[in-house]
């Protein structure tokens, strides 16, 4: 139990100074209609940045007396933290970066609930409506910088990686920073923190004082991937699908490091987009990279993609092993091509409107035993649709590993069961087993019990 700091009062700045009484009431409402549960969950994760915990239940067990209340006073808003993690403070003062993240949590929870999810002007049952919602959430978080050329590199990879892999992500981040490329990640630890940490040094050497370290997250995953302290632009989306869409709409190129099922979810999501016929001529570079020891890992990933989706899918992936400078140079070259393409098509540099996403990719997938068992994991469909179905399978495994609702589902009813084409099932089982052996499922993988069961026949 944390008893070092009993209560702290802080005052938000900017637009949060003028929250309404109704908005403050929502943030303190503990009912199903209120936002307090989400606020406590996200705030505790933010304040516990740097911990080795990747479970919401684990965090709550460590800090059972933590609470946060938002009230409107005559001269503005007041946020009261009760029994917060002591490591979030220096000399009894909340670390500035964590304070910014905390305010971002409040901003995004209120705006998304009131101005997006409960606003009839947004049709969240249509593809165009969802893309519009993703745009508005990003714009409200001030992620749109209209006067900049394309330069945002999205970095995906696992939050549970060994030190040697982490060092490589820092080396690559350094090379990206030297080329004044900005970094966008899932904002957590591991392969999401390393590129940012390396880029800080690269940007520093170039005297780039406006470098951007963008972090995109969502409430159900935030305990597993709490925003690292380097993130200076944080945005919290309401679900994983809108978060994933934000990556591909805001980013200009994507680098994928080693990871577990979450990284495979991201890769399959990306392949579903790139394999769609309407996206044939749109540049969205993807490079898979890691240190020398990563060769076998990426061979297993490419083999899985070959078996499930075929050679057409692997042609969209470039693998560069242990050459961080070459990866950064390639990304710099791609930025020039993307600028030319956006200019020719009159598309915005800051948001990829022309990219075609299907509603199946955008609609929130709720992993339950029923929905997981009903996934169409057969080859009797267009490959971009199969990629989307495979994405959902890995999304369910992520949920069963670290998301509160998914963990509860597994506790009640046992592992999720997956059925499909025998070749696909065998390939998936083999890949997941390699992730288990390499301890890529969770931070504390020493006692990992699979949340899934795959029918190989």
Which pair of tokens denotes residue 371?
Answer: 């929905």
pTM: 0.91
Residues near 343 by Cβ (< 8 Å), separated by ≥ 6?
none
Question: Counting Cβ atoms within 10 Å, is residue 247 exposed (0-12), middle (13-18) or buried (19+)?
Answer: buried
Pairing mode, strands 7-10 and 67-73 = unpaired
Alpha-carbon gap, residue 456 to 433, rounded angstroms: 13
Residues near 143 by Cβ (< 8 Å), separated by ≥ 6?
214, 233, 235, 250
Alpha-carbon gap, residue 251 to 183, rounded angstroms: 9
Closest by Cα among 217, 316, 336 to 275 = 316
Pairing mode, strands 253-256 and 152-156 = parallel
Torsion from C-alpha of 165, 168, 170, 173, nearest 10 degrees: -130
Task: Spell 63-88 as b/e; 16+ CB within 10 A means b.
Answer: beebbbbbebeeeebebebebbbeeb
Strand blocks (E) in 326-439? 416-418
- Tell me how crowded residue 91 is: count the other CB atoms within 10 A of its CB: 4
Which pair of tokens denotes residue 402?
Answer: 């670290």
The answer to whether 6 and 66 have CB atoms below 8 angstroms apart is: no
The answer to whether 218 and 238 have CB atoms below 8 angstroms apart is: yes
Tell me the DSSP string of 306-343. Answer: HHHT-HHHHTT-EEEES-HHHHHHHHHHHHHHHHHHHH
pLDDT at residue 53, as a whole number:
56
Tell me the DSSP string of 50-61. Answer: T-S---HHHHHH
pLDDT at residue 7, as a whole number:
86
Strand blocks (E) in 18-108? 67-73, 76-82, 89-90, 93-94
Backbone angles phi, psi at 166, to 5 degrees: -60, -40
Pairing mode, strands 416-418 and 318-321 = unpaired
**Element housing 423 (H / E):** helix 422-437
Alpha-carbon gap, residue 452 to 442, rounded angstroms: 14
The length of the chain, given as a count of residues:
457
Residues near 431 by Cβ (< 8 Å), separated by ≥ 6?
264, 300, 301, 304
Question: Could you tell me which residues are beta bridge partners of residue 235?
Answer: 216
pLDDT tens digits in sequence order for the chain, 457 residues long: 444 688 888 887 666 666 788 888 888 888 888 888 889 889 998 898 866 655 566 777 888 889 888 888 766 678 889 989 888 898 888 898 998 999 899 899 999 999 999 999 999 999 999 999 999 999 999 999 988 999 999 999 998 889 999 999 999 999 999 999 999 999 888 999 999 999 999 999 999 999 999 999 998 888 777 888 899 999 999 999 999 999 999 999 999 999 999 999 999 999 999 999 999 888 999 999 999 999 999 999 999 999 999 999 999 999 999 999 999 999 999 999 999 999 999 999 999 999 999 999 999 999 999 999 999 999 999 999 999 999 999 999 999 888 888 888 899 999 999 999 999 999 999 999 999 888 888 766 567 888 999 987 7
Question: Counting Cβ atoms within 10 Å, is residue 193 exposed (0-12), middle (13-18) or buried (19+)?
Answer: buried
**Element housing 292 (H / E):** none
Mapped onto helix, strand or coil, the DSSP state of residue 94 is strand
The separation between the first and the last C-alpha atoms of the chain, rounded to the nearest angstrom, is 49
CATH of region 7-121, choose from 3.40.50.2300, 3.20.20.70, 3.30.1850.10, 3.40.50.300: 3.30.1850.10
We find that the CATH architecture of domain 123-457 is: 3-Layer(aba) Sandwich (3.40)
Pairing mode, strands 253-256 and 286-290 = parallel
Residues near 452 by Cβ (< 8 Å), separated by ≥ 6?
372, 396, 397, 400, 415, 416, 417, 418, 432
Domain parsing of the chain, residue ranges:
7-121, 123-457
CA 46 → CA 28, 219, 321, distances in Å?
18, 11, 33
Closest by Cα among 159, 55, 117, 37 to 406 = 55
């Amino acid at each position: 139990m944390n008893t070092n700091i009993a209560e702290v009062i802080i005052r938000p700045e900017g637009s949060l100074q003028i929250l309404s009484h109704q908005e403050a009431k929502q943030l303190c409402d503990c009912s199903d209609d209120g936002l307090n549960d989400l606020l406590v969950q996200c705030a505790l994760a933010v304040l516990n940045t740097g911990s080795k915990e990747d479970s919401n239940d684990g965090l709550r067990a460590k800090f059972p007396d933590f609470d946060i209340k938002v009230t409107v006073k005559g001269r503005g808003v007041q946020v009261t933290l009760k029994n917060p993690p002591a490591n979030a403070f220096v000399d009894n003062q909340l670390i500035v970066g964590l304070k910014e993240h905390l305010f971002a949590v409040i901003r995004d929870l209120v705006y998304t609930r009131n101005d997006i999810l409960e606003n009839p002007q947004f049709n969240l049952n249509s593809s165009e409506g969802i893309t519009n919602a993703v745009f508005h959430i990003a714009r409200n978080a001030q992620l749109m910088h209209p006067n900049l050329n394309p330069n945002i590199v999205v970095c995906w990879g696992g939050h549970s990686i060994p030190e040697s892999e982490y060092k490589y992500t820092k080396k690559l981040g350094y090379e990206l920073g030297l080329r004044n490329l900005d970094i966008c990640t899932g904002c957590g630890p591991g392969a999401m923190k390393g590129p940012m940490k390396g880029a800080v040094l690269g940007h520093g050497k170039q005297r780039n004082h406006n470098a951007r370290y963008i972090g995109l997250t969502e409430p159900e995953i935030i305990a597993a991937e709490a925003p690292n302290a380097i993130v200076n632009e944080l945005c919290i989306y309401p679900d994983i699908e809108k978060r994933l869409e934000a990556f591909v709409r805001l980013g200009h190129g994507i680098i994928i490091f080693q990871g577990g099922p979450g990284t495979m979810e991201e890769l399959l999501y990306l392949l579903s987009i790139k394999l769609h016929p309407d996206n044939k001529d749109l540049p969205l570079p993807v490079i898979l990279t890691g240190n020398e020891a990563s060769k076998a890992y990426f061979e297993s990933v490419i083999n899985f993609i070959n078996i499930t989706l075929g050679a057409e899918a692997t042609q969209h992936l470039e693998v560069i092993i242990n050459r961080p400078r070459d990866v950064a140079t390639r990304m710099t070259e791609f930025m020039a091509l993307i600028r030319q393409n956006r200019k020719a098509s009159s598309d915005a540099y800051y948001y990829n409107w022309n990219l075609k996403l299907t509603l199946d990719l955008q609609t929130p997938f709720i992993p339950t035993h029923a929905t997981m068992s009903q996934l169409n994991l057969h080859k009797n469909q267009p490959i971009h649709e199969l990629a989307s179905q495979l994405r959902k399978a890995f999304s369910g495994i992520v949920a069963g590993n670290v998301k509160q609702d998914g963990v509860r589902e597994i506790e009640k009813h046992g592992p999720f069961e997956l059925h499909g084409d025998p070749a696909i099932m065998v390939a998936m089982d083999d890949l997941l087993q390699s992730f288990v052996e390499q301890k890529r499922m969770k931070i504390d993988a020493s006692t990992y019990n699979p949340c899934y069961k795959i029918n190989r026949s």
